[in-house]
Each structure stands twice: as C-alpha cells, then as structure tokens.
Structure 1
Amino acid sequence: MAYLLVVEDEPAIADLIAMNLKLVGHETLLIGDGNEVMNAVLNRTPDLIILDVMLPNKDGFALMQEISPLGIPVIFLTAKSQLDDKIAGLRAGADDYMVKPFAIIELVTRVETVLKRYREYSNIFRLDGLEVRMDEHKVLLDGEEVELTVKEFALLEILIANQNLALSREKLLALVWGADFLGETRTIDVHIQKLRKKLCLEKRIRTVYKVGYRLEVTP
C-alpha cells in the first residue's frame, strides 16, 4: 500500500482516480487547489504525487519546482499535450507525463511502475520526525541518530512493513525472535515500550486490545 496525493481540480476525474487506486490497495488524498499542495506534502509526505498542470492559483510546473528537491516521485496528468509541455514537465523532475483523456488502467500501471522503481532505489521510511534507513540499519529522530538494539530494529522493520495492520504478539515474537523462541509474549511488550520511548512513537504504535500492536501511519 502507498499513500498518493492526487492533485486534480476536476472532481469527477479526481474521484475516478481515487476509486481505482483504492481498489488496488492505495490510500489517496485529493486536492484541487495549487495553493494547498505543499501544506499537504509537508504535513504527510506522499509516496507519489499525481499532478495536473492547469490548477487554480498555482500551476503544476510551478509546484514541481517546490516538490522536486524533496525527492517525491511525480506523474503529470494533464490536458496539455504539446511536446514542449511534456519536455518541460520531465525536465522539471517528473517521473512520467500522461495526457488526458487517459485510460485508468494505464494510469494505475504507471503508478505501480514508478513506485516499484523508487522502492528498489530508496529504502527509507519517514514518519513525523522519524527517518528509518533500512539498508544502513540507521534510525534518525529529528536529524539525530538513535541507537537501537538488533531486536528493536528488527521489530521496527516488521511494524513498518505491516503498517496500519494489527499484528499479534505471537506473530511479532515469531518474526523477530524465531518460531523456536521459548520466551513469553511479555518480551514484545517490553520492546514496544522501548521503541515508543526512544522514537517518540507513543501515538503511532497503537495497542490493539486482545490482539497486539499496530504502527499507525494514517493522519
């Protein structure tokens, strides 16, 4: 599942895109005004942005200048079909450029292609002030490195990989310590408390009554 920002000022098109992205498991936020885009991006970093060019107040090309330094993948989806426009969009840093009218299945496919490419080359998870660099086994909180034990990091990885899903203590224990571990599920509770405290995740790692825990990344 990915979190996508759909910047489109025609409600019918925006709803169509959101509906189909939801069907394949993605979460979306719809925005129809160019002035609202950057506040939404800074409030919660999207995995990808579908961006119209012709928007009220601030157009997509101007927004791209602000988005590009953030390293967020962008697909332009616009009625501007001239070659010069397409070249301008790609040179501005967009990953793809689609022209309206479009086939929804093609858009969904292109979204999956771009997301896959970024996941292969960028294995970094960000949430609030937290940054987890999976390949480096490094965790930063507000820019400062936080030391985690091997088990704490492994537990955090599992929660991230299953974000927004409830995982039982038994499942977490088996994934982190191995199926043959003879310890008690209380071990999970202790490590969860340490992660919450070290990474300021008290409001993000939720206790699911009679089940276990869930890393909540939705607003």
Structure 2
Amino acid sequence: MSGKNRILIVEDEEAIAKMIAMNLEVSNYDTEIYYNGSEAEAALVQDHDYDLGLLDVMLPGKDGFELLGDMKKYDIPVIFLTAKDDLESKIQGLKGGAEDYIVKPFEILELLVRMEKILERTNKLSQTIKILNMEINFEEHSVKQNGQEVLLKPKEFELLCVLAKNKNIAISRENLLRMVWGIEYMGETRTVDVHVGQLRKKLGLSEHIKTISKMGYRFEE
C-alpha cells in the first residue's frame, strides 16, 4: 500500500482540532475535521474511507461514545482524545471497542507513536514516505534517493524512519534510543549521535537533520 493514511478528527474545540490536523499533515497524513458528532455521522454515510478516527468524547450532537458505533460499522479504528480522565469513561470507551484512550493534554509525539502502532496492527499503515529527494519503503526496508538505492545498516534505516515519520518534531536522544533500539537497550545516547552522523553522510542530510542543543534532533523538510 502506498499513499497517505487518511485520518478523521472529530473535536469541537477548533484550536485543538486544527493543531492536531496541522501536526498530522506535517507527519504525512491526510486529515478531515468535524466539530459536531451528528455532522460527522451524516458525512460518514457518504465518505467513510478513513484509516483511523480521533474522537473527542464530549461533542455537540452525537457524543464520541455514540459515534464509535458508526466508526465500527465502517471498520475504522478509533482513538479517543478527551479531557474525561475518569476510569468509568475510559472503561466505557475501551469496552465499546476503541483502540486507545488518550487524556488531554497529550504530547503530539505520543499520539503519533500510538497511531502508527494501531495502523500497523490493523494493516492500514502506508508503506512509503516521500520526503525531500528520497522515497522510504518500510516494507522493503529500502531508501531510494533520486531513484537510486542507498544502502543503510538496519539501525540507520530505523532511525531514518523515526525521524522522517516525525519530521519537524524535536525528539530527544533518550526517545530516539527507546524508539529505535528498544526500551531494554542499555546503550548510551552517543550511539544515536554516531548513527545520525552516518545518515547525514550517506544521504547528504546535514542541512536537514538539525541538532537541538542539549536535547536531540529534528528532521526538517
């Protein structure tokens, strides 16, 4: 599968909805926003070609718990993003069939990681990203630059994938270690610096993988 994953956002606070959409679009997703549960329900009848839904619980019109039934009908996995942090609501959401339940405020990086896990699990994850002059294919574990394949070591490839999927977001060295080498990896953050150095050299990305002082790295397109 190629092309961008399509995400439905149903959130009645316009500023939050637009902030989520902006961050997702930067990370290679297409988004559609509705501010009202009933309007989202009516629109789904016409167009339900979504890979994932991000729903608030408290919505005007139809609330998120009710809307979950419509999403399930069209086989659209759902993450609840809500200020309701009581256990009862969480149990209701997860028992009702939501894939995840994230309480506001949340870090956008955490949302992106959880979304990717769900898209992977449901076999909906887009398998390629086109960024700068590169095409990264996750399934084939390959990178082509201007049509020519560039050979990367496995961890270099995984690091490139994490940076590209989360472009324009600063990621700490500790998070990069966790995301690429795994939570159990006892290495030090110098490992990340060495691999970033290799990526910059092999792919000519010195201008694009920015060092964030005393923190980590950010991939800028």
SS in 1 for 2:54: strand
Aligned 1:175-190 pairs, distance under 5 A: none
Paired residues, number: 124
* Residue 35 in structure 1 maps to residue 29 in structure 2: no
Contact 1:53 1:78 in 2 (8 A): yes
Q: Structure 1 161/115 Cα, relative in aligned 2: closer, same or farther at 3 Å? A: closer
> Who wins on radius of gyration, i.e. which is larger?
1
SS in 2 for 1:5: strand
* Structure 1 equivalent of residue 120 of structure 2: 116
Deviation (angstroms), 1:24:
1.1
* Structure 1 equivalent of residue 55 of structure 2: 51
SS in 1 for 2:122: helix
Identity %: 48
In structure 1, which of residues 63, 67, 72 is the aligned counterpart of residue 71 of structure 2?
A: 67
Determine which structure has greater relative contact order: mean sequence separation of CA pairs < 8 Å that are 6+ residues apart, divided by chain length. Answer: 2
Q: Unmatched 5+ residue regions in structure 1?
A: 124-159, 163-219
Moved over 3 A (4+): none
Contact 1:68 1:92 in 2 (8 A): no
Aligned 1:1-219 pairs, distance under 5 A: 1-44=4-47, 45-119=49-123
Contact 1:34 1:58 in 2 (8 A): yes
Following the alignment from structure 1 to structure 2, what is the Cα–Cα distance between the partners of residues 161 and 114?
A: 14
Q: Residue by residue, what CA displacement relative to the aligned partner does 1:7-33 show, whole Å, maximum 9, x if unpaired?
A: 011111111100110111000001100
Following the alignment from structure 1 to structure 2, what is the Cα–Cα distance between the partners of residues 37 and 67?
A: 10
SS in 2 for 1:46: coil
Following the alignment from structure 1 to structure 2, what is the Cα–Cα distance between the partners of residues 17 and 93?
A: 22
Following the alignment from structure 2 to structure 1, what is the Cα–Cα distance between the partners of residues 44 and 108?
A: 24
The root-mean-square deviation of aligned C-alpha atoms, in Å, is 2.0
Output the amino acid matched with 1:14: A
Following the alignment from structure 2 to structure 1, what is the Cα–Cα distance between the partners of residues 43 and 78?
A: 15
Output the amino acid matched with 1:112: E
Deviation (angstroms), 1:43:
2.4
Deviation (angstroms), 1:70:
2.3
SS in 1 for 2:18: helix
Q: Unmatched 5+ residue regions in structure 2?
A: 129-221
Q: Residue by residue, what CA displacement relative to the aligned partner does 1:119-163 show, whole Å, maximum 9, x if unpaired?
A: 1xx79xxxxxxxxxxxxxxxxxxxxxxxxxxxxxxxxxxxx988x
Following the alignment from structure 1 to structure 2, what is the Cα–Cα distance between the partners of residues 40 and 23?
A: 25
Contact 1:52 1:76 in 2 (8 A): yes
Q: Residue by residue, what CA displacement relative to the aligned partner does 1:43-73 show, whole Å, maximum 9, x if unpaired?
A: 2221100000000111001111222232210
Deviation (angstroms), 1:112:
1.0
| TM-score normalised over the length of structure 1 | 0.53
